[in-house]
Amino acid sequence: MIPYSKLAPSPSSALLLHPELLQLIAAKLTDVVDYISFRGVCSSWRSAAKPGAAPKQLPWLLLPYNPAAATRSFYSISTAKTYTFDCAASVVGGVVCGSSFGWLALITPDSALSLWNPVTKAEIGLPPPTGFPSYLGPEARRLVADVKSCDIDEHCFPISLGYVRRGYPCRVSLSSSPTAPDCVVFVILESSSAFAYCRIGEQAWTIRETNLRDAVNSVVLRDGRFYAFDSYGTGVVLGIDDPSARSDIPFSCGSLPLFGTFVTKAAGDNELYLVHSYVGFDNDDEEVNRLDVFKLASVEEGHQWERMSSIGDLAFFLSGNHASVVRATDFPRCTGNYVYFSEGTCGDLEELRTEGHGIYVYNIKRDRLELKRCRMKVVSDFSRSPTWVMPSLLQRL
């Protein structure tokens, strides 16, 4: 029998593959985690697997987590696998308040904000919240330093008992990947008709008042203008350089939102979509969960929402602080005409601690809400609600 050592290539010879062959191998990988492992072998393998060429993945679900824990777990609906990543010390204690383009926005007990890419471990600091009306100043840092990590839920200034307090950042979103030079960061303040924004690298926030009747729920940058909407879908278009430039976007659907109203922009086609979920009634006058999708259309008077009878190959992913839309044809094993909700958006987290995680899927074609279990238990009483995150390997230039 020939010894195994004579058959197996040495580590050095296994790595000395032609660059074109390495590129062919990398192109065959369909799981972004396998792609990351491939890049981690050595510098030549990393050069053959460019970050921008990573396989497309549907959003992962960041599973409920304890902010004080040193790891975060993500469930992939593409592979039906769960991946766990270590957190840097600067991430531990931070609570997710937004997810955009593969980056999670974190807020610490003293209101500091930052962006974190769980795949690449990259971090980007954001300006201090000194311009926010809720900012407590340096005194908050001293008080928080006296609080044990296990008490973070009870004593955290921005967040108490799972809810963001009035005036604090409750949702952070990005106009594009922070790797882009023109990326704008938006901060929506809880129970406020104003929002804050800055560009990556700036040292201070700019506050913009919308004068919407209800609190701002989402902000999108489109064609060089801000589109801000409240939780009922009523919106306003604001000029960036001219504060007086303003036009209103009415929305009246005749029903109160059940899980909130989500506005998001489709990548590539610059369209704005609104997802409105509510309680309706069937022919027997029984309450049922309903959902409508609208697209923003330009009319002679300005803009208006038009209801879509079908969303075709579009698939929406919604959670408390995330809204995105993809084209199913761009992703393997993805089906259009569906809206995916995280359980924190329309589910009972207490029930899921015993039954396992769930993803609620609204079938547009059947006009029905369905539950798909991930079968991953929640064991911590400090768990925060899950959110979607699109895995990305892109690095900031």
- What tokens does 268 get? 């590539």
CATH for the 56-389 domain, from 2.40.30.260, 2.120.10.30, 2.40.37.10, 3.30.70.1450 = 2.120.10.30
The helix (H) or strand (E) run that includes residue 135 is none
Per-residue pLDDT of the chain (397 residues; tens, 9 = 90+): 334 344 344 445 555 678 888 888 888 888 888 888 888 888 888 888 888 788 888 899 898 888 888 999 898 888 888 889 899 888 988 888 899 999 999 988 777 899 999 988 899 999 988 777 666 555 555 544 554 444 444 434 555 545 556 666 778 999 999 988 889 999 998 888 999 999 998 999 999 999 998 889 899 999 889 999 988 889 999 998 887 788 999 887 666 666 667 899 887 778 999 988 877 666 676 777 778 899 999 888 788 899 988 888 899 999 888 899 998 888 877 788 888 888 655 444 455 455 556 678 888 877 777 766 665 555 455 567 788 999 888 665 4
Which tens digits make up the pLDDT trace of 44-58? 888 888 887 888 888
Residue 58 CA to its chain's centroid (Å): 12
Q: How many CB atoms lie within 10 A of CB 15?
A: 14
Residues 263, 217 contacting (CB under 8 angstroms) = yes
Q: CA-based angle 345:78:275, to the nearest 5?
A: 35
What's residue 266's pLDDT?
81
Residues 230, 218 contacting (CB under 8 angstroms) = no
Give the residue extent of every domain in the chain. Answer: 1-55, 56-389
Cα dihedral across residues 303, 307, 310, 313: positive or negative: positive
Q: How far apart are CA 85 and CA 137, in angstroms?
A: 32
* Residue whose C-alpha is closest to residue 374's, from 347, 397, 396: 347
Distance spanning both ends of the chain, measured CA to CA: 54
DSSP 257: E
Instruction: Indicate the Cα dihedral angle 325, 330, 334, 339, nearest 10°.
Output: 10
Q: CA-based angle 108:112:116, to the nearest 5?
A: 75
What's residue 228's pLDDT?
95
Q: How many CB atoms lie within 10 A of CB 350?
A: 9
Which tens digits make up the pLDDT trace of 187-240? 998 888 999 999 998 999 999 999 998 889 899 999 889 999 988 889 999 998
- What tokens does 91 get? 């991430």
Which tens digits make up the pLDDT trace of 84-123? 989 988 898 888 889 999 999 998 877 789 999 998 889 9
Q: How far apart are CA 180 and CA 267, in angstroms?
A: 14
The helix (H) or strand (E) run that includes residue 27 is helix 19-28
pTM: 0.83
What's residue 173's pLDDT?
93
> What SS3 class is residue 137?
coil
Q: Which residues pair with 107 in a beta bridge?
A: 95, 113
